[in-house]
Amino acid sequence: MDLSDELKNAAWRKAAKSGPNGGDCLEVAPLSGGRVGLRDTEAPEKAPFVVSAGVWAAFVDGVKKGEFDF
């Protein structure tokens, strides 16, 4: 399966705290090889970003440590 098919058939999910309106959310999907797809909930037709497992792990670690808090 090529990447475009994998992204089309991916199991996209968003945070439970995103609310029922679905706006202002980032969706993620696990992909082959440990990669992660990222897309804007408000524009699912646009090409998603694809990052490696290491990049995703570093981002999640930063979130947990509050590195992106305002």
Closest by alpha carbon to 57, among 33, 25, 34, 27?
A: 34
Q: Does the residue 38 lie in any domain?
A: yes
Which structural domain range is residue 9 located in? 3-64
- Asked whether residue 37 is assigned to any structural domain, the reply reads yes
Q: Is residue 7 predicted with pLDDT exceeding 80?
A: yes
The Cα–Cα gap between 32 and 21 comes to: 30
* Segment 4-27 mean pLDDT: 82
pTM: 0.80
The domain tally of the chain equals 1
Task: Report yes or no on 69 lying in a domain.
Answer: no
* Location of structure tokens 């670690």: 61
Task: Assess if residue 21 is contained within a domain.
Answer: yes
pLDDT of residue 22: 58
